[in-house]
Chain A
Amino acid sequence: MSGRVLVVDDEVEMQRALRTGLQYHEFDVHAVGTGEEAVREAAAWRPDVILLDLGLPGMDGFATLRALRPATRAAVIVVSVMPGEKDKVRALDAGADDYVVKPFGTEELVARIRAVLRRQADVTSGEPVVRTGDLEIDLARRAVAVAGKPVHLTPTEYELLRYLALHAGKPVSHTTLLRQVWGEYAVGDKYNTRYVVAQIRKKLGDDPANPRYIVNEPGVGYRLEA
């Protein structure tokens, strides 16, 4: 699988290293140094994935992310040095698909890019069944099974799992889960999502201390293993 990757980083060394590394892995790469250029390039070149460094001079990463969203359907992977958990949540809630912490190796980055591309392909194909390991979530029939055995979830539990399944591989913040499952004006907090996830794990036979399906992202939220 290959694709177009737009690198947004103000450091020339980083641009060059990423361009070289990603090209060796069959990606088409363009690199720009500012948020304004990124927005222009996203509209003109139509990349599949955008690697966006949060520490940009001028128009910063978050502003760029907001400006990119209406301009492109590309998956955005946010890149940052030691991001705080709040930054991660903010980036995810602003529409980022994943985040990678600098420094990283090319292999790791390539794996992340392939994961978001795969997810995009799944969404576009409208594949109604999401599989991860033994777990099968049939979105059309609203049915969940582990190793072929049906699992009965309450409507709330199913909604939460469905949302994670629709974004399999992507960390989903507690606030997004709350809004998606309980509605725009949900009264509640992280304890709601934690409690429901605990119930789902129990029914799926997933060990919170060594999870196979639903992974805890400390300070951020949850992610369904892709």
Chain B
Amino acid sequence: MTRRAAPYVVAVGGAIAITLVLELFASYVSATSLSALYLLLVLWLGARWGRGAAVTGSVAAFLLYDFFFVPPVGTFSVRGPAEFLELAVLLAVALVTSQLAASQRLAQATAEALARDSRALYDLATSMLKANDITPALTLVCRSAVHLAAVARFAVVADGALLAGSPLSGDELKQAAWSHDHAQPIGIAIKDGAVITMKTRGTAPGLAYLPLQSGVVVTELDPEKSDGAELRMLAAHIALADLLLDRRRASIETERARGLEASDRLKAAILSSMSHELKSPIAALRAGLTALAAPKAGLEPEQRELLGDLDRQATRLDRMVGDLLALSRLEAGVGMETEPHSFAEVVGASVREMRPQLKGHELTVRIPDDLPPVDVDDTQLGRVVTNLLENAVDWTPADGRIEIGALSVGDHVEAWVENDGPAIAPKDFDRVFDTFWSGRASGTGLGLAIARRVVEAHGGTIRVENRRRGPRFTFTLPLAHVAVGQ
């Protein structure tokens, strides 16, 4: 007895068995009332085996009942509408029951499949989350996709290289990179969390590229197998791959930031200790030299003059060391803190600091009251202004004029420092900003180089030109995008 025949054998056998029971008890109870047993059989057959068995059972039951119990007994004669009704009822019961049972069985099968899928995805997700490294987790996802989503291939590409999954050809890698750069899916797309397939030209049928936030999924669908359940599985695997790729990028970025921060801290610490080591001896020198210059020290005028010379040299050395440290700080890229600032205020602080040197020169400030705020590190910008003013003081003859000004031009502020004095040869327009280029004995040759670095660190430019009365240094500064008082 094969498995397929079993339901029919049971159906016919069941009907015969019930007929025998009816025969045995017919003398005690009316056969008509016992015939409900057939109904029971058909119900059971429908629920247990489905439509075929139930229909077979109902036909067999009808024929047996008709033959043995319906007069004339011993013949298959159907007479009158009542008997047809009986047959019809039996058949209807058979069909309805089997239908109900069948849809229930289907629902159960679907539920079981879903449970199996969820279980598989859950296992995958947990093992994936447990993995410390992203790549093994991605490999797991790729393998699982081939297994559960019934795709021929599943691979994950990021930064132009295969991260995990099925091997890809060079062209496929190129195609994946293109898909990512242009945010252009090929073959499949994700819509409302579900995978939809799209017709493509030019690529192999079934081959699909889906760009994600931080990488690309390349997969080859099997058109035979890709029904709703498989596509749902595929969507789930793509979502997992997406999650992992984001995690990978986040961890790369964190790592990079941590590295930069550590090296910044180290550089700042080295520079700070260098400052201390280089400046402390100069501090003691200057304190000592200037102490002896006091009238009460009782030194001769020539001796005091000598002390003055020495202190000026010490001061120059101090400036040189300060400039060198400032330059190393700029080159090391130790953090600038930009904020909206009033340019006039920054100039004010520098002018105040330079007041002793500016004495004997005529300073003009041309900054409009409504000049918008600039987005700068104010101490660094102060250094630019101070250095340019120092440069101007050094080159301006006694009673000469120094002008500092600013204007809002388009999306930036253009500021300048101009002085009376000798013109700069056009061939030196660029060289004046070079490190250690100096046309005079008193400077360190670093002031203008520092000014350029600071301006450039703010995203601006600096240049020099000759105006009618002397050179003008012009630099640009970015505008800030908030309101601040002048």
Contacts and interface: CB of A to CB of B under 8 A. Distances in A.
A207 interface: yes
A43 interface: no
B378 A219 contact: yes
Contacts of B482: 191
B347 A102 contact: no
Q: Is the interface of B mostly helix, strand, loop or mixed?
A: helix
Interface in B352-395: 352, 363, 365, 367, 378-379, 382
A181 to B, nearest CB: 15
B485 A18 contact: no
A24 interface: yes
A195 B367 contact: no
A99 B345 CA distance: 21
B158 interface: no
A81 B365 contact: no
A207 B283 contact: no
B117 interface: no
Interface in B303-341: 311, 314-315, 318, 322, 325, 339-340
Contacts of B314: 103
Contacts of A210: 347-348, 351, 363, 365
Interface stretch (A9-17, A90-98, A133-141): A9-17
B483 to A, nearest CB: 8
A28 to B, nearest CB: 14
Interface size class of A (residues with CB under 8 A): 35 or more
A212 to B, nearest CB: 10
A103 B286 contact: yes
B344 A199 contact: no
Contact of A208 (B275, B294, B486): B486
A105 interface: yes
Nearest to B486: A198
Interface in A1-34: 11, 13-14, 16-18, 20-21, 24-25
Contacts, number: 127
A217 interface: yes
B296 A24 contact: yes
Interface string B247-283: 0000000000000000000000000100110011011
Interface in A131-160: none
B284 A216 contact: no
Given A11-B284, A13-B284, A218-B378, A107 B290 contact: yes
B344 A191 contact: no
A216 B291 contact: no
A218 B346 contact: yes
A107 B347 CA distance: 26
B347 to A, nearest CB: 4
A142 B486 CA distance: 25
B290 to A, nearest CB: 4
B346 A103 contact: no
A16 B288 CA distance: 8
B293 interface: yes
A217 to B, nearest CB: 7
A17 B287 contact: yes
Given A24-B294, A103-B283, A207-B348, 9 more contacts: A81-B279, A82-B279, A85-B379, A103-B318, A105-B287, A198-B486, A207-B365, A210-B348, A218-B346
Closest 6 interchain pairs by CB? A198-B485, A21-B291, A17-B287, A24-B294, A103-B283, A17-B288
14 contacts: A11-B280, A17-B284, A21-B287, A85-B379, A103-B287, A103-B315, A105-B286, A105-B290, A191-B482, A194-B484, A209-B365, A216-B348, A216-B349, A218-B346
